[in-house]
Structure 1
Amino acid sequence: MSSDLPTADLESVASTNNGENFSLSEFFRTEAPTLQGRVRPFSEYFRESRAKGLAHYGREIVSAVSNRVQVRGIDGATREMIMFGSNNYLGLTTDPHVLGRIREALEVFGAGVGGPPLLGGTTQLHKELEHRLSIWKGSEDTLLYGSGYQANLGWITTLLRDDDVLLYDELNHASLYDGIALTAATTHFRAIRFAHNDTEHLKRLLIRARKRTAKPNRQIFVVTEGVYSMDGDLAPLPRISELCREYGATLVVDDAHGTGVMGKNGHGTSEHFGMTGGIDLCMGSFSKAFGMTGGFLSGDREVIDYLRFCSRSYMFSAHLPITTVAGVLGGMEVVEREPERIVRLQENAAYLEAGLSALGFKTFREAAIIPVRIPVDLNIREICREFDAAGIFLNSIEFPAVQKDGQRLRLSVMSTHTREDLDIAIDAFERIGRKTGIIADAAA
């Protein structure tokens, strides 16, 4: 085994703190002799935080998820809030055409399929969705999964073999990390992180991996995301694709937050960069722009055929319910007929980001996700409580989801946000920012 490659092990898999790969259980370990004793420290911590109004998790939404939602608070009272915590970027969850598509499908196919895809669970609608997604992604075929999480587990556990090398961005989703850990239990491959969006680091690793994989049966996989969910920044896909071609690596892109949002037609981050069809294997999710659930993999027909019969997370799961398939198809039709939704989404995101930056907040935008950094010496939970009281529904991202100096508020923008919604949010940020000291610190 070559010594010029870093050793891939599960310690490296677990050591990256980012908003998509962490486990709170690591912070509440106890040697209690009972199961109740094992979980009690976390339960007590959470209940105390909730009693103080500092645990804004699992808030109960009692209306359709749109730009304005009805939320039942900890005190049991229901009130309207402006939603900046949903990935329903295009407002498709309440679109009349989408809902009509779902109602029509229910009448024809019923509510579910009652079986896995290979054994009676595939309908005409499932095949139609696979075909439509293949066109969007410029690929030969597509495979549908119960979730994006299952899709990542599915390809990693199926395609990686002994002595293969997997190079992945350190900020990839937890499902990739879990797929690596699961595969490592039975397969002797190398999984090596490269620094976030650092193509020079990736190049060095590819050079070393190429030397090590001289045998033709050994494969190199490079995995990145199109749009990263915590900061909304884009991967430098053209350069990564160029490196993969140069060094004979298979490029896999997790485009969960790009599909439906990025590119003129919403086909994804590859379309945004003018390289549709330049991805070997593209993973996506229906839980973001389409407001549903489920995931997919698009690629060459031979690869998809292999996964269809060999991917355990596909074979041993019931197929997507009819409501989901019909809803996604309806959403794709809306995007194709109304590309102005994508334009409006980007305009809304740009307007909100400009307003926050003008006030002195540390923020950033490349897609529809806007992170607002909060100085490490401020209590982000208390700040989130202020926004909750102001009727602004957003999410706080704190340690251990990110490093202690990387805590942030995360805003997801929708095309259905009105200018009034955005102005109210900007006013709330100014008022709360001055009250808590965020703006002063950010501008110093």
Structure 2
Amino acid sequence: ESFEETPLLVAILTYIGYAILIIFGHARDFLRKWNLEPVPRAQEPKPEKGWVPLYQSFESFYTRNLYRRVRDCWNRPICSAPAAIFKLMERYTSDQGWTFKYTGRELECINMGSYNYLGFAQPTGSFIDQSEEAVHRYGLGVCSSRLEIGSVDLHMELESLLAEFLEVDSTLTFGMGFATNSMNIPALVSKGCLILSDELNHASLVLGSRLSGATVRIFKHNDMVDLECKLRDALFHGQPRTFRPWKKILIIVEGVYSMEGSIVRLPEIIALAKKYKAYIYLDEAHSIGAVGPRGRGVTDYWGCSPRDVDIMMGTFTKSFGAVGGYIGGKKSLIDHLRLRSHSCTYAVSMPALAAQQIISTMRIIMNKTGDDDGPRRVAKLAWNSRYFRARLNKMGFIIYGNVNSPVVPLLLFCPAKVTAFSRECLSRGLATVVVGFPATPIIEARARFCLSAAHNRSTLDRALAIIDEVGDLLRIKYSTKQPPLSSHSECDLQFIKRFSKHIYTSNVLEHFL
């Protein structure tokens, strides 16, 4: 995996930048307090005697004084399908991000921010026709939970196909990916159980862990030494105060980490879980369909047996171009969740339209259609990821993550450059995502590029040319390492060697040769 320490001078300048922002933020808060500066927002009334202010955290201060000023870098409304090239609604603000006005014009941009990994979020194709037929037959919504009258035959078909795809005994689907984590973890662990969670796990995993009532301990990101140390300590000391053995120990990790672009070290996780009799909860939201020679996630990527992972979780919002989430595993686990999961008992079912979209795209990925479209998309995404990373490395940017990950974080560091990078790229026809504190460490603000099978070589070259130009303009080429690949042809060769063993026919590689 690619990881480069923050240069000392850049770290110092980043801290100075935040210090200046904090000073000006406090000065503006002082002016607002005495009504010397207008505040165009709903304000908390002055608290009564004996009460404390409702909002007093640093995040509130940060949001009020920085996030609002650069809000035009986020929440950009699109007005087309999130394909390789998409359209944004042009808007502007005259009050530093408090309100926006729309010009009525559309901006055509290269899309490097959507999770459309396999390119299925497109408006045409056989799977779109099948989804349209499902709308005419079932309507747009189910309007009930699975345990009432919210199950349709498409749900059963989807769960049967999904179990085959994941190579597990049984699966259960849900209407929302976030709720799949936050509402199912409490159904699996409770008070007296221990959760060992990677420090970079998604907010849905963090929320689900907190709601469960279990004790949560954090281990360093992808650090197997730290994880084993905490497992050994948990077995030796047991529960606090009583020192009784833990009822259950659950290790929670992600397949591909959405902010780091790193891939979980699954074989070592499985080995530790077996050694210390712990369970594994694997979140494959960003890895299912997106990594592995067959597009079946990190178990496919590492060549591990899915049956060595106790709880297989994932979402349909990325690679499948739909909505919802799933959990797969043993039949006893799924039967338990059907009765105990709040997202199954109380939440509305996945629309039949989405279920049909997932069935159709999953059949394509599994090559059940016989046209090699699925393997071609998986191979193209893998090639795009390696090519894009190699070019950025060669340009001198600091890039995080695994070389095979479709998530590519580019480090920007300074808060002012986060805003400038987003705006300069957009003005040149490149739409991407920029991320800062509190979603990242305070000095590791970044741009996050998401590769897709919908991108072709010329589109990526155009995007890279824009990034190169903006990188020179903002002076963000901080890397001091030599690029790992010396030429594009070497990148092509490494890709072909890795994937030629797994592609169904030689026709799949024609695009790359």
TM-score tier by shorter-chain length is: 0.7 to 0.9
Residue 221 of structure 2 is aligned to residue 196 of structure 1? yes
Structure 2 residues without counterparts, runs of 5 or longer: 1-25, 30-41, 48-52, 93-102, 368-373, 482-513
CA distance in 2, matches of 1:41, 1:162: 35
Deviations, residues 375-413 of structure 1 (Å, cap 9, x unaligned): 437521112110111111100011121112211110001
AA matched with 2:45: A
Residue 433 of structure 2 is aligned to residue 403 of structure 1? no
Which of 266, 270, 285 is the matching residue for 2:315?
A: 285
Give the secondary-structure state (helix, strand or coil) at the position aligned to 1:70: strand
CA distance in 1, matches of 2:335, 2:182: 17
Aligned to 2:305: 276
CA distance in 2, matches of 1:42, 1:236: 35
Deviations, residues 52-104 of structure 1 (Å, cap 9, x unaligned): xx631111111111000011122423120000000001110115022012012
CA distance in 1, matches of 2:90, 2:44: 35
Q: % of aligned pairs identical?
A: 29
AA matched with 2:81: A
Aligned to 1:163: 192
User: Closer, same or farther in 2 for the Cα pair 1:44/1:226, shift >3 Å?
Assistant: closer
Contact (CA 8 Å) 2:210, 2:216: kept in 1 or not? Answer: no
Structure 1 residue 159: deviation in Å?
Answer: 1.5
**TM-score if structure 1 supplies the norm length?**
0.86
Which of 57, 74, 95 is the matching residue for 2:91?
A: 74
Which of 479, 487, 490 is the matching residue for 1:442?
A: 479
Structure 1 residue 216: deviation in Å?
Answer: 7.6
Deviations, residues 171-191 of structure 1 (Å, cap 9, x unaligned): 11101111122223xxxx321
Structure 1 residues without counterparts, runs of 5 or longer: 1-26
Aligned to 1:8: none
> Of the two, which has the highest radius of gyration?
2
Aligned to 1:88: 116
Give the secondary-structure state (helix, strand or coil) at the position aligned to 1:251: strand
Deviations, residues 85-133 of structure 1 (Å, cap 9, x unaligned): 0000111011502201201212222222221101111111101111111
CA distance in 1, matches of 2:249, 2:62: 41
AA matched with 1:32: P
CA distance in 1, matches of 2:362, 2:81: 20
Contact (CA 8 Å) 1:62, 1:70: kept in 2 or not? Answer: yes
Contact (CA 8 Å) 1:284, 1:297: kept in 2 or not? Answer: yes
Aligned to 1:33: 46
Aligned to 2:397: 361
CA distance in 1, matches of 2:151, 2:480: 56
Contact (CA 8 Å) 2:291, 2:382: kept in 1 or not? Answer: no
User: Closer, same or farther in 2 for the Cα pair 1:63/1:360, shift >3 Å?
Assistant: same
Residues 268-347 of structure 1: pairs in structure 2 closer than 5 A: 268-277=297-306, 278-337=308-367, 338-347=374-383
Contact (CA 8 Å) 2:175, 2:349: kept in 1 or not? Answer: yes
CA distance in 2, matches of 1:285, 1:82: 25
Query: Of the two structures, which has the highest relative contact order with CA contacts closer than 8 Å and spacing of 6 or more?
Result: 1
Residues 44-443 of structure 1: pairs in structure 2 closer than 5 A: 45=65, 49=69, 55-75=72-92, 76=103, 77-94=105-122, 95-184=124-213, 189-211=214-236, 212=238, 218-277=247-306, 278-337=308-367, 338-364=374-400, 365-376=403-414, 379-439=417-477, 441-443=478-480
User: Closer, same or farther in 2 for the Cα pair 1:154/1:198, shift >3 Å?
Assistant: same
Structure 1 residue 215: deviation in Å?
Answer: 6.5
User: Closer, same or farther in 2 for the Cα pair 1:38/1:377, shift >3 Å?
Assistant: closer
Deviations, residues 239-290 of structure 1 (Å, cap 9, x unaligned): 0011101111111100100111111221111111111322100110011111
Contact (CA 8 Å) 1:168, 1:191: kept in 2 or not? Answer: yes
Contact (CA 8 Å) 1:280, 1:300: kept in 2 or not? Answer: yes
CA distance in 1, matches of 2:62, 2:319: 33
CA distance in 1, matches of 2:420, 2:150: 48
Structure 1 residue 420: deviation in Å?
Answer: 1.3
Deviations, residues 353-382 of structure 1 (Å, cap 9, x unaligned): 111111111114331111111143752111
Give the secondary-structure state (helix, strand or coil) at the position aligned to 2:459: helix
Structure 1 residue 157: deviation in Å?
Answer: 1.0
User: Closer, same or farther in 2 for the Cα pair 1:170/1:47, shift >3 Å?
Assistant: closer
User: Closer, same or farther in 2 for the Cα pair 1:43/1:359, shift >3 Å?
Assistant: closer
Contact (CA 8 Å) 1:30, 1:38: kept in 2 or not? Answer: no
Give the secondary-structure state (helix, strand or coil) at the position aligned to 2:73: coil
Aligned to 2:502: none
**TM-score if structure 2 supplies the norm length?**
0.75
AA matched with 1:428: I
CA distance in 1, matches of 2:347, 2:62: 32
User: Closer, same or farther in 2 for the Cα pair 1:295/1:377, shift >3 Å?
Assistant: closer
Contact (CA 8 Å) 1:148, 1:283: kept in 2 or not? Answer: no
CA distance in 2, matches of 1:315, 1:376: 46
User: Closer, same or farther in 2 for the Cα pair 1:119/1:101, shift >3 Å?
Assistant: same
CA distance in 2, matches of 1:163, 1:303: 19
CA distance in 1, matches of 2:90, 2:75: 10
Deviations, residues 13-65 of structure 1 (Å, cap 9, x unaligned): xxxxxxxxxxxxxx99986338xx97898897579625xxx631111111111
User: Closer, same or farther in 2 for the Cα pair 1:377/1:397, shift >3 Å?
Assistant: closer
CA distance in 1, matches of 2:200, 2:397: 24
Q: CA RMSD in A?
A: 2.5
Give the secondary-structure state (helix, strand or coil) at the position aligned to 2:350: coil
Contact (CA 8 Å) 1:227, 1:367: kept in 2 or not? Answer: yes
Deviations, residues 202-225 of structure 1 (Å, cap 9, x unaligned): 111111222327978811111100
AA matched with 1:442: S
Deviations, residues 124-152 of structure 1 (Å, cap 9, x unaligned): 11011111111122211111112221111
CA distance in 1, matches of 2:110, 2:415: 27
AA matched with 1:265: R
